[in-house]
Structure 1
Amino acid sequence: MIRIIIETIAAFYAAYGFGLVFNIKGDTLKIAGIGGAIGWFVYKVLITYTSIADPAALFLAGVSFSVYCEMCARIFLLPTTILSACALIVLVPGFGVYKTIYEFIMEKYITAGNLFTETLAAAGALALSVIFVTSIFRNVNIRRIISSKFEKNDVK
C-alpha cells in the first residue's frame, strides 16, 4: 500500500507539471494535480486489489477524476478541459504505444497487433469515461437542482 501512496504522490506532481506546461496558474495547478492523483490512486487500487481488467480499471479511474474535475470546474468557475487534460495525462497509455511501435519495427507483427489492441482499448476506455461524465454533467443542471431545493425550503 505504501507503494501506491508514493505513486499517487508522483502522479500528483506529474499532473501538476503538465499544468505548468499548459500555462495554468495559482491554485488551479493544485486542483489539476489532485485530479491526476485521484485517477492514479483509483486505477492502482483496482489493478492491485481486484481482478478487474485494465481497460475497466482505466474507465473507472477516468470516471473518478472526471467527476472531480467537473465538480471543481463548477465550484471554482474554471474550464473543465484544463483540469481534465492534466488529470488524464497521467493515465494515458504511452508505454503501450511505444511497445506497439517497437514490436512493429522489430517485425513481430502479431505481438504488435495484440499490443495495439490493448492500447486502443485502454485509450478508448479513458476517452469514453471522460465523455460519459461530461455528458451527464451537461445534461443535469446542478445549479437548477440546488436552487430549486433552496426555493422549496424558503416557501415553508
Structure 2
Amino acid sequence: MHLFLGFIFSYISSVGFAMLFSSPKRAIKFSALAGAIGFLIYNIAGDLIGGVFLPILLGAYVTGILGEIFARVFHMPAILFIIPGIINLVPGKGIYNTLFYFVDNQKSLAFTNLFETLVTASAISFGILLASSISKSLMGFKFRKPSKKYDWRKKK
C-alpha cells in the first residue's frame, strides 16, 4: 500500500514542480510519470537492498533514462522531463537537519547529516550522468539494413 501511495504522491509533486518550472503542457504528465516511476524504483530498491546510495542511484538512473526516452519521442529537451521527475529524490530533510544541527551547535549530528546529504546528492547526479551518457553514446547508433547493391557474401 505504501508503494501505491508513494507513486501517487510523487506523481502529484512532480506535476506541481513541472508547472512551477513552466513546462509545456504535453510534457507535464510524462515528466511526472518519469518521477513517479523513479521514486517507485527508489522505494523498492530501498526495501530490498537498504542503504542510501544505491536506491537513490537506481531511482535517478531510471528517471534519467525515462526522461531521455520521452525527450526523443516528443522532440523536446531532456531537462524538461528529468528535473521535475528528480525532485522527489532530493534530500530536503537532510539539508534542513544539517543546518538545524549546525545552528543548534550539535556538530557531530550536523556532520553525520551532511555526509548522508552529500551521498544522496552525489547519487542523484551520478544516476543522471550515467543515463545521459548512455543516451548520448546511443544517439549516433542506427540500425541499418544491408545494401542490396552489393552483397559481400557472394563471390564473383
TM-score, shorter chain, exceeding 0.5: yes
Secondary structure of the structure 2 residue equivalent to 1:145: coil
Match of 2:142 among 135, 138, 145: 145
Q: Is the aligned partner of 1:121 residue 2:122?
A: no
User: Structure 1 vs Structure 2: percent identity of aligned residues?
Assistant: 22
Secondary structure of the structure 2 residue equivalent to 1:140: helix
Letter in 2 for 1:31: F
9-18 vs 21-30, which moves further: 21-30
Which residue number corresponds to residue 94 of structure 2?
Answer: 96
Secondary structure of the structure 1 residue equivalent to 2:125: helix
Cα drift, residue 51 of structure 1:
3.0
**CA–CA distance in structure 1, aligned partners of residues 128 and 100 of structure 2:** 29
Q: Is the aligned partner of 1:73 residue 2:64?
A: no
Which consecutive segments of 4 or more residues in structure 1 shift more than 2 A? none
Q: CA RMSD in A?
A: 1.5
Cα drift, residue 25 of structure 1:
2.4
**CA–CA distance in structure 2, aligned partners of residues 105 and 88 of structure 1:** 28
Cα drift, residue 131 of structure 1:
0.8
Which residue number corresponds to residue 134 of structure 1?
Answer: 132
Could you list the runs of 5+ residues in structure 2 that have no partner in the other structure? 152-156
Letter in 2 for 1:72: F
Q: What is the TM-score normalised by the length of structure 1?
A: 0.90
**CA–CA distance in structure 1, aligned partners of residues 80 and 27 of structure 2:** 9
Corresponding residue pairs, total: 149
Which residue number corresponds to residue 47 of structure 1?
Answer: 46
Cα drift, residue 141 of structure 1:
2.1
The aligned runs of 1:24-39 (5 Å cut-off) are 24-39=23-38
Could you list the runs of 5+ residues in structure 1 that have no partner in the other structure? none
Letter in 2 for 1:10: F
Cα drift, residue 71 of structure 1:
0.7
User: Which structure is higher in helix share?
Assistant: 1
